[in-house]
Amino acid sequence: MTGQRKRPRVVTIGGGTGHFALLNGLKKHRVDITAVVTMADDGGSTGVLRDELGVLPPGDLRQCLVALSEADELVRELFTHRFDTGTLKGHNFGNLFISALEQVSGSIERAVEGAADVLKIQGEVLPVTLDKTKLSATLKDGTVLNGEYVLSGSPDVFVKGVASMELTPKATLNPRVERAIRQADLVVLGPGNLYSSLIPNMLVPRLGEVLHSAYAPVVFVANLMNKKGHTDDFDCARYVEEVERYAGTRFIDTVLYNTERVSKELVERYESEGVPVVCPSSDDGDVEYIGAELISDTMPEQKKGDAIQRTFIRHDSDKLARAIMKVLHGTM
């Protein structure tokens, strides 16, 4: 009698809507997923809850939990509901729920586990750190940008250049994150905003070292578009270089990039925000480049009360997940 084949373990690292898209597609495949989430968010509802309640940022955790949820549609809609009137205007119910659970339980880990039970998630969601910390960036002209929200909204990042970034106070790596990476068959970084979603993870001490020494290969999912004022002329190699600079070591084995042409209409519609990211068609040094069609054919829905302007050009969850699975099984 043969034993049941083990499900591959995939660890994803990121934050924001790109991470949501990846998880939403991956959960449809036969893999065990652990989502590692940045804890640097301090904008919108999350920022208010951090400041007023002293909790850890719930926003990116909530997005990952909803992405992996197998609960009824009504429950998933509840956790994404954003109030648009009254004293709760701008707040997301899921953020309030997780923050309340953290206060009741005394632990963000127990809060996430409680929310995971309600949402019936397939997989696991882990904060990259359990410490309360904030992002700080120093530009090359000496300007200091305190907070992920301030950094993300600054138009000066590219022009002045980023000299250094740090988390203050310093954070420690969540031990469960290290264990998950050590046990993984594949690690996926991105897609996501470089300076506000990806690098904040790399700033947690020892994460780069753990990724460098991990058994699992690491795949970096390249962004579809550059962010104006932040990564104006970045190509794939520049993204890799910047991520590894803050990690303090080389660890990316493969870059998965989009080969699907962005329509002229969409490029023109998006031009105030950025231009498409260019990637090489062949390998560059120690990094393997793999191309696939990854763009979503549907337009994002702008929900009532949503403070975030949805990106017109975004990854398709299913296309991205299928490409990741091919990389996992060595069929690309």
3-state helix/strand/coil string of 86-106: CCCCCCEHHHHHHHHHHHHHC
Calculate the alpha carbon distances from 286 to 138, 254, 282, 307 in Å: 30, 9, 11, 41
How high is the pLDDT of residue 286? 84
Q: Which long-range contacts (CB under 8 A, 24 or more apart) does 267-271 make?
A: 269/312, 270/225, 270/311, 270/312, 270/313
Cβ–Cβ < 8 Å for 275, 234: no
- 191 preceded by a cis bond (ω within 30 of 0): yes
How high is the pLDDT of residue 2? 47
How high is the pLDDT of residue 4? 57
Domain that holds residue 105: 9-328
Cβ–Cβ < 8 Å for 97, 74: no
Task: For residue 2, tell me if it sits in a domain.
Answer: no
Measured at the alpha carbon of residue 151, what is the angle toward residues 148 and 152, in degrees to the nearest 5?
A: 80
pTM over 0.95: no
Task: For residue 127, tell me if it sits in a domain.
Answer: yes
Sequential pLDDT tens for the chain (332 residues): 345 568 999 999 999 899 999 999 999 999 999 999 999 988 888 888 898 898 999 999 999 999 999 999 999 999 999 999 999 999 999 999 999 999 999 999 999 999 999 999 999 999 999 999 999 999 999 999 999 999 988 888 888 888 999 999 999 999 999 999 999 999 999 999 999 999 999 999 999 999 999 999 999 999 998 988 889 889 999 999 999 999 999 999 999 999 988 777 777 777 667 788 988 766 667 899 999 999 988 755 545 444 444 456 889 999 999 999 999 998 76
Task: For residue 40, tell me if it sits in a domain.
Answer: yes
Task: For residue 244, tell me if it sits in a domain.
Answer: yes
Task: For residue 96, tell me if it sits in a domain.
Answer: yes
| Residue whose C-alpha is closest to residue 277's, from 208, 202, 227 | 227
Q: Which two tokens stand for residue 233?
A: 């002329």
- In whole angstroms, what is the distance from residue 165 CA to residue 175 CA? 23
Total domain count, the chain: 1
- In whole angstroms, what is the distance from residue 28 CA to residue 321 CA? 8
**What single-letter amino acid sits at 75?**
V
Task: For residue 67, tell me if it sits in a domain.
Answer: yes
Residue corresponding to tokens 């105030």: 272
CATH of the domain at 275: 3.40.50.10680
Could you give the dihedral angle defined by the CA atoms of residues 42, 46, 52 and 55, in that order, rounded to the nearest 10 degrees?
A: -90
Cβ–Cβ < 8 Å for 65, 94: yes
| DSSP letter string, 109-154 | HHHHHHHHHHHTBSSEEEESBSS--EEEEEETTS-EEESHHHHHH-
Task: For residue 4, tell me if it sits in a domain.
Answer: no
Measured at the alpha carbon of residue 28, what is the angle toward residues 27 and 33, in degrees to the nearest 5?
A: 25
Task: For residue 243, tell me if it sits in a domain.
Answer: yes
Instruction: Tally Cβ neighbours within 10 Å of residue 80.
Output: 14
HSE (CB half, 13 Å, CA atoms) of 42?
Answer: 22
How high is the pLDDT of residue 274? 77
Pairing of strands 134-139, 144-146: antiparallel
33 bridge partner residues: 10
